[in-house]
Structure 1
């Protein structure tokens, strides 16, 4: 390694050499942060930096403390040439992330990758903000689109990098709109464009008059980009909007003494920061003109394809109509408007939409043909879609037309309740599905939904829900003195074999098969046993003649034998053993009725 004083001398004196020779000198001597102040002095020569600035980007970006030198390069170098090198550096940054943690989820990827990546990303975005404001051309959007693609490819959904993105977009929007409202956050990222000295910017040597259509094109690019960032951030972090909304809508169902999710988000700094970051992104989009639930805006969202890739058009567009918002990001934006209104008391416009047809269409488009893959890969978007539905139902914005398919809508909700990776969000989807079922005005349709779940559903947890919802329908019919299918014995006759299936074959299973059967079916078996006890104890008038004996013979008695055998299997202990004992006790109580 060369001596420090020798390196500083070489950096200062070498500027007198030809440009190629000087770059060779810099490559040898610019290897440590200690020489950077001397280099920055030399770079104040605008003519020199104009010629060699773009060659310095990759050399400097890997050196700690190079931010000042790179800012000088961005202000004095040829903006078009330096921009290309910054984009290449972002591309290498994205490649470094992929190499380090190729198969890990984004939230873990941010932690596992090179710890210097966020700092370099922030520095490069500060350069971009300066460069794009310097470029004076007829079509600046042609430079902006590809830059934003490279930024997004290198972006990881962590607070520091998100704050840098917010700074970049605010700079690129030209501050033509009022500044964003201040929001509390522990993340404070220096904005080289905003906080630096703009008077130091060299003019664009190839300046042209800007086209009159450019404002709208650039605004649409920034809107689209910001919705993509919002989508990625929300899908990388559990925002839990829908379960938190349920706490607000149904405080009577909160468990006394148990910490609520709202309290957790207020008291936990990490969770609080999630809300803050999303709030900043939403405020940014508001600053860019996306700030309300207008009818045309809602229509443009649910008519768009959920599988659209907005970034695909960033290098090939002729009008603002060619540039699309991120469907997942826009759904998250809408969810946050509803959520922040009801949880934080924010002043947002009321939605011009209903569960039917608008939200139903959004739900269908989101789930598509691969519902499980979609929910698992985009859990934040699924939570957002669910939160919108909860908000609309709470506002009684249910049906705008007579064509409302409660059965299909209910089916979509149950897919979220089965596949979503977060337990609280699954529970919220299940509760909302129950609400939708009971909201269906036609009792025949409600019965068909329950029958379909009990007979055709492969998920024991949903079949258990169906049994519980059936019980709720019976109770409602009696309490409200209704005359419908659920007030007559025909409903029990129709569903008895689905609610109390034949268990005779289970008795003869070997230990391994029996244990597997229990793991797959215990939620439904416990719920069915509880329902049987409830039915024979409190609704005997609805039980068809001879049904109780038939249920004992095909369901409860063989299931007791199987459960007793299960309780003796090695490894069935703790909570599992307790559930088995509860099932046996409930089945015996059922038989005793």
Structure 2
């Protein structure tokens, strides 16, 4: 390694050599942060030199700590068309590096290489300067590929998201500063906004810009920001739907227990999440995406299925070829509704209804691989629920087209089963129940419940169906209604789904640990406990709804074998305390029916 004084002298004197020789000198001597001030001084004082070799310095300097000032000088004085290509190559390298090491990290959310965010921030600072310097007929041809590389390298950390926000503010003309009303993402370097733009060299190949380019660039930025919004919302639990439920139903909040809404107000990290989303939405407003007309709604469920709408930038010949991220658009609408109802913002009202618009959105996003879609896109699922809750709160239920309540309810219940966050699952269950009870046609309500009880494979959903059935029966009684839920026919129709044949349980082993019986209990306990409670309500509270002779049949095929099996499980030495307690409740409730 050369001495520092030797390197300083070589960098100063070497600038007199030809460019290829000087690059060789730099590769040998620019190896540590201590030498960077000297190099930056040379680059800053010799604009012609920097224009000629700047693009060769991007990769050389990026790996050296503290090289930001030198790279800023390269961005201001280097040939912008050449340097921007090298910046894109560097971003591509970051994306590859991230993907190579992320597989070795077990803990979600952990940054595998602490240098990647810093490099990303530096490169985006350069891009902001470079794109404002490039004067060409079609600047979108530079902007599109750059945004693709940024998105590929982007990970939804606070620092990297703040850098993206800075970049878009610069490229959109910085119509206003970031919103100050809620905590924003953490501050990162932004040389385009904080540096001296008077040092920027003119584009040596400047051309007059095509008049259509302003719209092209704006649409590219809209597409990019909606893509970032989707990725950020999927990576961070925004909990829009549970928070809306608390705001819409304050009487159901348990006194003395901290609400989710309060947690977001008090916790700095949670506040930061709201702040980041708020800034991304503010960017879109600055980019003229500030209304929610019918055409915008229809584009979400009728447009192309694009997970990365920027990927086809080579095919962009007009504004109509550029699309928003569909998932990002859903998150945008959800935040408009959420921020208006929780923060009192002046967000636009969506021109849509639950039927058919929201139903079509649900079907478009869940598709055929419903489980994997919900698990891999938890933020979109939460956003979809928030939109539905907001529309219901506004009484925007039915539009001019027919609705398929069965399919809609089915999609809601799938979110209640597969979403990774229990609070969102609970919100989905609550909303599904509300929509079911609000359907005016009692025959439709009964068919949905029958379908759940007969065909659903999830005990938790079948338990919900029993709860909803109980609520329908109680409402019919209290309001003296004459409908599908007010006569014994409803129990006659559902009895074999409510009280299935359990005689096969008698064939299981009667001694020791019975694996089959343990598995049966683990898979069905939620359903069985709810059935026992419903049976008690039915036989003790509403005997007029019990068809003649059904009690004895239910006792023989359902109660007796189930009680016997539960008692065997209670005596199992391997049974957990909670299981024994629940089994005891089940046995006591079933025996109290007097059907044995």
CA distance in 2, matches of 1:164, 1:218: 19
Partner of 1:245: 244
Say which SS state the counterpart of residue 263 (structure 1) adopts.
Answer: helix
Instruction: Say yes or no: does 1:56 pair with 2:57.
Output: yes
- Give the CA deviation at 1:308: 4.8
CA distance in 2, matches of 1:113, 1:150: 19
In the alignment, structure 2 segments of 5+ residues that lack a partner are none
CA distance in 2, matches of 1:586, 1:420: 32
Partner of 1:162: 161
- Give the CA deviation at 1:576: 2.0
Aligned residues of 1:529 and 1:590 also touching (Cα < 8 A): no
Aligned residues of 1:76 and 1:201 also touching (Cα < 8 A): yes
Say which SS state the counterpart of residue 128 (structure 2) adopts.
Answer: helix
CA distance in 2, matches of 1:527, 1:305: 43
CA distance in 2, matches of 1:490, 1:198: 79
| Cα gap change, 1:307 to 1:84, in 2 (>3 Å) | closer
After TM superposition, the structure 1 stretch with the greater mean CA deviation from structure 2, 351-360 or 302-311, is 302-311
Match of 2:538 among 535, 538, 541: 535
Instruction: Say yes or no: does 1:124 pair with 2:127.
Output: no
Match of 1:547 among 538, 541, 550: 550
- Give the CA deviation at 1:263: 1.3
Say which SS state the counterpart of residue 152 (structure 1) adopts.
Answer: helix
Q: TM-score, normalised by structure 2?
A: 0.97
> How many residues are matched?
590
CA distance in 1, matches of 2:360, 2:105: 32
Instruction: Say yes or no: does 1:523 pair with 2:526.
Output: yes
- Give the CA deviation at 1:334: 0.3
Partner of 1:401: 400
Partner of 1:262: 261
Task: Write the deviation string for residues 131-152 of structure 1: whole angstroms up to 9, x where unpaired.
Answer: 1111111100000000000000
CA distance in 2, matches of 1:590, 1:306: 54
Say which SS state the counterpart of residue 420 (structure 2) adopts.
Answer: coil
Cα-Cα RMSD: 1.5
- Give the CA deviation at 1:186: 5.6
Instruction: Say yes or no: does 1:462 pair with 2:461.
Output: yes
Aligned residues of 1:450 and 1:466 also touching (Cα < 8 A): yes
After TM superposition, the structure 1 stretch with the greater mean CA deviation from structure 2, 305-314 or 333-342, is 305-314
- Give the CA deviation at 1:311: 1.6
Partner of 2:364: 365
Instruction: Say yes or no: does 1:182 pair with 2:202.
Output: no
Q: How does 1:189-588 map to 2 (within 5 A)?
A: 189-401=188-400, 403-510=402-509, 511-588=514-591
| Cα gap change, 1:104 to 1:251, in 2 (>3 Å) | farther
- Give the CA deviation at 1:20: 1.1
Aligned residues of 2:559 and 2:595 also touching (Cα < 8 A): no
Aligned residues of 1:502 and 1:555 also touching (Cα < 8 A): yes
After TM superposition, the structure 1 stretch with the greater mean CA deviation from structure 2, 281-290 or 301-310, is 301-310
Say which SS state the counterpart of residue 304 (structure 2) adopts.
Answer: coil
- Give the CA deviation at 1:179: 4.5
In the alignment, structure 1 segments of 5+ residues that lack a partner are none
Say which SS state the counterpart of residue 312 (structure 1) adopts.
Answer: coil
Aligned residues of 1:500 and 1:528 also touching (Cα < 8 A): yes
- Give the CA deviation at 1:164: 0.5
Aligned residues of 1:556 and 1:591 also touching (Cα < 8 A): no
Aligned residues of 2:185 and 2:276 also touching (Cα < 8 A): no
CA distance in 2, matches of 1:274, 1:457: 36
| Cα gap change, 1:103 to 1:232, in 2 (>3 Å) | farther
Say which SS state the counterpart of residue 110 (structure 2) adopts.
Answer: helix
Aligned residues of 1:294 and 1:352 also touching (Cα < 8 A): yes
CA distance in 2, matches of 1:234, 1:509: 48
Say which SS state the counterpart of residue 205 (structure 1) adopts.
Answer: coil
Partner of 2:19: 19
Task: Write the deviation string for residues 17-36 of structure 1: whole angstroms up to 9, x where unpaired.
Answer: 11111111111111111111
| Cα gap change, 1:128 to 1:307, in 2 (>3 Å) | closer
Aligned residues of 1:413 and 1:429 also touching (Cα < 8 A): yes
Task: Write the deviation string for residues 281-321 of structure 1: whole angstroms up to 9, x where unpaired.
Answer: 11111111111222222122222234453022223210000
Say which SS state the counterpart of residue 591 (structure 1) adopts.
Answer: coil
Aligned residues of 1:97 and 1:109 also touching (Cα < 8 A): no
